Structure 1
Amino acid sequence: MIEFEWQYTGDSPIYVRTFMRQQGISRTLLKQIKFSGGSICVDGTQVRVTYKMRSGQRLKVTLPPEIPSDHLQVSDTPLDILYEDDHFLVVNKPAEVASVPSHIYADDSMVNRVKGYLTRTHAASQVTHIVTRLDRETSGIVIFAKHHFAHTVLDTQLKQHSLKKTYLCVVSGVMSQQHAVIDAPIGRQPGSFIKRMVRSDGRSAQTEYWVVKRMQATTLLRVRLHTGRTHQIRVHMASLGHPLVGDFLYGQQTNPWIHRQALHCASVSFYNPFAQQQITCYAPIPADFATLIEHENQL
C-alpha cells in the first residue's frame, strides 16, 4: 500500500476534500481513492470527504491498488537511471528506442524496460506512469512516476509550465540571431498522419532558443520548450529554414556523423513535493551527438 500523511495547521475548520486538493490530489484521483479501494482517515478514523478537519488533526490517505496491464511485455534491458526515489524515476533514453510500445516496437520501449525494472525491484506499484516522452530517434531524459499521485503532481507542473526541459540540438546552417522565442502554431500537415507543420489554425506553440556555438555549416543550440506539441522543435526549426541535422522527416538525412535527428533532452527540473525540494537531472551528450559536434567544428 502507498500512504501519505499530512497535519492540518490552519486556524479555521476545513473540508477534507479541500485539504486533499491543497496537497495536490486531483478530482480524478480523489474519485479513485473513494471508489476503488483507497481510504481516507483523520486521526485513525475513516471519514468522508465532507468531514471538517480542525487544526492539529492528521489526515492519512491510502491510494487504491494499481493493477498492471497483462498485455504489457516486460523487458530486462537495463536502465540508465539519473534519479530515483519512492515517487519518481528519471532515466536516460538512448536514441532509436521508442518511449512507449507500439505494434512496431512492442517489446523493448522505455515503458517495457521500466516495467521490467519495477517488477525486478518489487516496487509498491508496478504500473508504468510515463510523464514525459521523446521521439524514438531523440535521446535524453524521460520521466516516470511510480504511482498515480506522483503522476498527477507532474501533470500539473507540465500544465503550469513549471516542469522545465532543456534540449541541445544541431541545426543546418549558421543562425544569426543569438536568442529568440519562436511563437508559431503547429498542426498536422495535410495528407500525413505523422508530419506536422506551422499553420495558422494549429495549436499554440512556443520554442525558446540560444546559440551555443556557430560552426562552419551548422549551429549548436540550447532550446527550452514552453509548450509540448508533437515534433515541436523539429517543426519550428524547419520553419525557420534551419532543420535539425539528420532529420529525415523535416530536412535531409545526409550527415555522415549522425544517423538520426541531432536532438537531445539534456536536462529536466521539477519540484518534488514529497521531498520538498527541486530536482534537476542532466543527461550526458551521447557519443554520436558529440562526434557530430567535433567534426562539424573542424570543417
Structure 2
Amino acid sequence: MQPIPVLFENTDLIIVNKPIGIAMHDATKEADFGDSTAENGKAEKVEGIVTRLKKQLSLTELHLCHRLDTGTSGCLCLAKNAAVASEIGELFSSRRVSKYYLALSSQKPKKKQGMIMGDMKNRRGGQRILLKTLENPAITQFFSNAAKPGTRGFIVKPHSGKTHQIRVALKSIGAPILGDTLYGGEASDRLYLHAWHLQLPLSSGELAVTAPFDKGEVINEDDVQAWYNGLNAPETYPWPSLPARYVPAQ
C-alpha cells in the first residue's frame, strides 16, 4: 500500500494530497462469491484515510476538518487535536477558507465562465439536483478553457460547501465531470476532480498549500502544464501558483 503524500505538517495539523479511491472513514466491504481478496469469503474491512494516516504517521489522534468524495483527489486537511479541528471547522463553516478545484469534462459548457447558484435537493440513488430557488444556495464560480483537444478544463472556486456541489454545478451547465457517471459524465479511468489549492487563515498564521494534480490516463504532465499556462482568470480570482507555505501570525 503506497504512502499518502503529505504536503504540509506541523504540530497542529497535516495536509495531504489524497489519492483517488480512498474514503474518509473505515467501511466494511461484503465479499462476492469466490472473491479472493477477502479471507474465507467473509466481509473485508476497508481502511479510510484517517486510519491509514494514523498508521503511516504513528499518530493516536487525528480529526477530519472537511471532506472529499472518495473519487476526488487533492488537498485534505486533518487536525492533530480537537481545538485546532474546531478552529478549522469554524473557518470552513464561516466560508473563510479559499478553495480551488481542477476538473475536466469531455463536453463544452453552456458558458465559459461565471457563477452557478441554486438550492440543492437530494434525489434517489445518491444524486443531488440544482434548483432555481436561492433560500440556502450552493454558490460555485468557475473559469474554463481547453485543457487539450477534445477536453475542457475548469478551475472552480466553491463559495459554499454542499455535498457534490461542483459535480452538480458542472452538470447544470452541460459539462459533467469526466468519469462522473453518477451525473452523466463520460466513463473514464477516474473522476477528474482535484482539490488543487487550499488557503487557511489560522489564528497562528496563514497557510496555503497546492496539491500537484493527481493525473490519469486522459491527461499527462505536459497537457497539465499547457492547461495552467493557457487559463487567464480575472484579477479578482487569480490562478493560484503558490507552493506550500506557512506565514506565522505577528
TM-score after normalising by structure 2: 0.75
Q: Aligned pair in 2 of structure 1 residues 172, 99: CA closer, same or farther (>3 Å)?
A: same
| 1:66 counterpart residue number | none
SS in 2 for 1:168: strand
Deviations 1:117-143 (A, max 9, x none): 35x2xx5xx222101211111111110
Among all aligned residue pairs of Structure 1 and Structure 2, give the percentage whose two residues are the same amino acid.
25
| 1:59 counterpart residue number | none
Aligned residue identity for 2:118: A
CA distance in 2, matches of 1:218, 1:86: 41
Query: How far apart are 1:150 and its partner, in Å?
Result: 0.3
Higher relative contact order (CA 8 A, sep 6+): 2
Q: Structure 2 residue aligned with 1:272, among 187, 202, 218?
A: 202
Q: Structure 1 residue aligned with 2:128, among 181, 196, 207?
A: 196
Query: Do the aligned residues in 1 keep the contact of 2:106 with 2:186 (CA within 8 Å)?
Result: no
Q: Structure 2 residue aligned with 1:230, among 163, 166, 170?
A: 163
Deviations 1:20-79 (A, max 9, x none): xxxxxxxxxxxxxxxxxxxxxxxxxxxxxxxxxxxxxxxxxxxxxxxxxxxxxxxx8523
CA distance in 2, matches of 1:293, 1:206: 32
SS in 2 for 1:249: helix
CA distance in 2, matches of 1:264, 1:199: 25
Query: Do the aligned residues in 2 keep the contact of 1:174 with 1:215 (CA within 8 Å)?
Result: no
Q: Aligned pair in 2 of structure 1 residues 215, 204: CA closer, same or farther (>3 Å)?
A: same
CA distance in 1, matches of 2:221, 2:25: 27
Q: Aligned pair in 2 of structure 1 residues 230, 269: CA closer, same or farther (>3 Å)?
A: same
User: For this pair of structures, how many residues does the alignment match?
Assistant: 209
Query: How far apart are 1:259 and its partner, in Å?
Result: 1.4
Aligned residue identity for 1:229: K
CA distance in 1, matches of 2:122, 2:110: 29
SS in 1 for 2:219: helix
Task: Confirm whether residue 107 of structure 1 aligns to residue 46 of structure 2.
Answer: yes
| 2:116 counterpart residue number | 182
CA distance in 2, matches of 1:77, 1:173: 33
Within 5 Å, give how 1:16-31 maps onto structure 2.
none
Query: How far apart are 1:172 and its partner, in Å?
Result: 2.9
| 2:214 counterpart residue number | 286
Deviations 1:166-207 (A, max 9, x none): 100012322363421101111101x33x11111357852001
SS in 1 for 2:220: helix
Q: Structure 2 residue aligned with 1:154, among 88, 101, 117?
A: 88
Query: How far apart are 1:216 and its partner, in Å?
Result: 4.1
Q: Where in structure 1 are there 5+ consecutive unaligned residues?
A: 1-75
Aligned residue identity for 1:108: E
Query: How far apart are 1:87 and its partner, in Å?
Result: 0.6
Q: Structure 2 residue aligned with 1:220, among 132, 153, 173?
A: 153
Within 5 Å, give how 1:1-299 maps onto structure 2.
78-104=3-29, 106-118=45-57, 120=58, 123=59, 126-175=60-109, 177-189=111-123, 191-192=124-125, 194-200=126-132, 203-213=136-146, 215-254=148-187, 258-274=188-204, 277-288=205-216, 290-291=219-220, 294=223
Q: Aligned pair in 2 of structure 1 residues 152, 169: CA closer, same or farther (>3 Å)?
A: same
CA distance in 2, matches of 1:240, 1:293: 28
TM-score after normalising by structure 1: 0.63
Deviations 1:227-258 (A, max 9, x none): 1111111111111111111111011443xxx4
Moved over 6 A (4+): none
CA distance in 1, matches of 2:221, 2:147: 13
Structure with greater Cα Rg: 1
CA distance in 2, matches of 1:102, 1:185: 30
CA distance in 1, matches of 2:78, 2:147: 35
SS in 2 for 1:290: coil
